[in-house]
Amino acid sequence: MDDVTSKVLKSFSQFLSGMETKIKEKGNSSLLASFASPLTGYAFKEKLGVLKKHFERSFYFEKPSDGIAFLGLDEVVVVSENGEGRFAATDKKTREWKVNFVNNWDDFSLEKIPLFLGGMKFSTGHNDDEWQDFDDSSWFIPEILLIDKKDEQFLFYNSVFSPNTSKDSLIKKFTSKLDKLKNLDSASVQNTAPKILSSEGNSPKDKKKWKNLVSEGLEKINENQLEKIVLSRKVELKLSDSPDFNFIITKLRKLYPECYLFNFHRGRSSFFGATPEKLAAFSKGMVEIDALAGSAPRGKTAHEDILLEKELLSDKKNLNEHNIVIDYIKSALTRFSDKVNLENKYSIKKLANIQHIWTKISAGLNSKNIIFILLKELYPTPAICGTPKETALHLIKKMEGYKRGLYSGIIGWFNFEDEGEFAVALRSALYTSNKLIAYAGCGIVSDSDPELEYKETELKLKTIMSLFADENKN
């Protein structure tokens, strides 16, 4: 990597020289600079377990079927907010950097470059202890960003500096970061999963308690307090060792290529998963949203799989649950678009262990700079909360007995070009303080059956739980 480092540093020096005029034009203002360079021969997707150990904050995001993955390391700008005003406050603080943003991105034919990385919790308010490392809205610009896009690799170095910052000091700091990347010892990767020493949340008593919770939700629906509510449960595992995230992401990549894979690490905590649900993707004045609600298991044979698919598409309960989500999204988009398109209504998204009713929704946006305005209107959708939204949200907080944190929250990225991609953080788990907490939920409507809903959560938990099963350690 020495030759690559030399070329990258030479290009960075030229980039800084070219920025001198812009720096003077900004006067005493601090500049946010993003330097991009092609990169070859650095397989960061194989070093995830090692990188996490050497950086205080990291963020990994991948859509295997699209051939896109990126990794952000350390931070140069942090925008963290708590409380009900988090959407507006995040939007305001991030856009304040736009007027002082310089880059060399136009030197390359790149679109949709991540700048701010992070996520937002399902709800605001005080935290359970395990979520202390993350704020209600937690975004950062990484100092180092590595992108692998359809077999092309790029390195981005982001920095904040004032007119008094010397060129030599910036080059020295960048050199130090490159050396740190180069010298990481990938041989320390475990490439195995730890054993489960004990678990909580899966006992017959826990099952009975959760089914009672579903029955309580059905009572609220029958009393016409709400039309749908999404209830979740969690399972806590004590592991023999800390997880190796290189191993975990590799397994998830193989099993769930159509999902968003993610690992958001900060301090002592790592939140990771493989979610099938796109909340919103923004690009070229358009937004794309997934309606994903209604579930069935996969068949053991191709014939059985098709039969289960047909049953799912004819099931009144699941279609009702799905239509609630579609109607909500269409209504939310009316403020921002004159035309909403349903491109594949009642399709099926098949995953390794489960299949969902799926409708892809898209719309042309009638104004710019509205990412967080739209997200606030859209989130949380009935797919992970219920409807009416405020009633469902209030009851979830009251009934579940714990804070969801980033589970079923927002995970993704955005930049200053009205581009971004956000997923709903499902099929996920938090690792912190030597324990792993896996989450799963399901939508409750008038004709839901508590036993079947419990089985659905078991299917969804399998995404995480199977990573630590003995058969996956070969």
Among the ranges given (141-155, 156-170, 324-338), the one the predictor scored with the smallest mean pLDDT: 156-170
Predicted pLDDT of residue 54: 80
Distance between CA 291 and CA 311 in Å, rounded?
Answer: 19
Question: Hey, what long-range contacts does 62-68 have (CB within 8 A, 24 or more apart)?
Answer: 62/249, 62/253, 62/260, 62/261, 62/262, 63/259, 63/260, 63/261, 64/253, 64/256, 64/257, 64/258, 64/259, 64/261, 65/257, 65/258, 67/149, 67/150, 67/151, 68/147, 68/148, 68/149, 68/150
Which residue, among 182, 190, 283, 322, has the nearest Cα to 244 in the 3D structure?
190
pLDDT interval class at 229 (50, 70, 90): very high
Question: Six-digit token pair at 221?
Answer: 């629906």
- DSSP classification of residue 288: E
Per-residue pLDDT tens for 48-71?
A: 887 767 888 999 999 999 999 999
Residue 471 clears pLDDT 50, i.e. is over it: no
Residue 42 clears pLDDT 90, i.e. is over it: no
User: Are 52 and 245 in contact, with CB atoms under 8 Å apart?
Assistant: yes
> What does the pLDDT average to over 3-17?
86
Count Cα atoms within 13 angstroms, Cβ side, for 37.
22
Q: What percent of the chain has pLDDT over 90?
A: 74
Which residue, among 188, 161, 181, 185, has the nearest Cα to 5 in the 3D structure?
181
Report which of residues 46 and 281 the model is more confident about: 281
User: Are 262 and 275 in contact, with CB atoms under 8 Å apart?
Assistant: yes
Residue 200 clears pLDDT 90, i.e. is over it: yes
Residue 376 clears pLDDT 80, i.e. is over it: yes
Q: Whole-angstrom distance between the N-terminal and C-terminal Cα of the chain?
A: 32
Residue 473 clears pLDDT 70, i.e. is over it: no
User: Are 1 and 71 in contact, with CB atoms under 8 Å apart?
Assistant: no
Predicted pLDDT of residue 238: 93
Predicted pLDDT of residue 52: 67
Question: Six-digit token pair at 327?
Answer: 């109607």
Predicted pLDDT of residue 258: 94
Report which of residues 28 and 165 the model is more confident about: 165
User: Are 117 and 156 in contact, with CB atoms under 8 Å apart?
Assistant: no
Q: What percent of the chain has pLDDT over 70?
A: 95
Among the ranges given (25-29, 217-221, 284-288, 368-372), the one the predictor scored with the smallest mean pLDDT: 25-29
> What does the pLDDT average to over 394-417?
95
Q: Omega of the bond prior to 380 within 30 degrees of 0, cis?
A: yes
Predicted pLDDT of residue 191: 67
pLDDT interval class at 21 (50, 70, 90): confident
pLDDT interval class at 127 (50, 70, 90): confident
Predicted pLDDT of residue 469: 64
Q: In whole numbers, what is the pLDDT of the chain averaged over residues?
A: 91
Residue 118 clears pLDDT 60, i.e. is over it: yes
Predicted pLDDT of residue 166: 84
SS3 317: helix
Cα angle, residue 252 at apex, residues 248 and 253 outer, rounded to 5°: 115
pLDDT interval class at 472 (50, 70, 90): very low
Predicted pLDDT of residue 129: 83
Per-residue pLDDT tens for 295-350?
A: 999 999 999 999 999 999 999 999 999 999 999 999 999 999 999 999 889 999 99
User: Are 280 and 312 in contact, with CB atoms under 8 Å apart?
Assistant: no
Domains (ranges, CATH) in the chain?
Answer: 2-188 (no CATH), 196-473 (3.60.120.10)
Distance between CA 214 and CA 448 in Å, rounded?
Answer: 9
Helix 389-400 × helix 204-222 angle, to 10°: 150
Cα angle, residue 279 at apex, residues 277 and 284 outer, rounded to 5°: 120
Residue 180 clears pLDDT 90, i.e. is over it: no
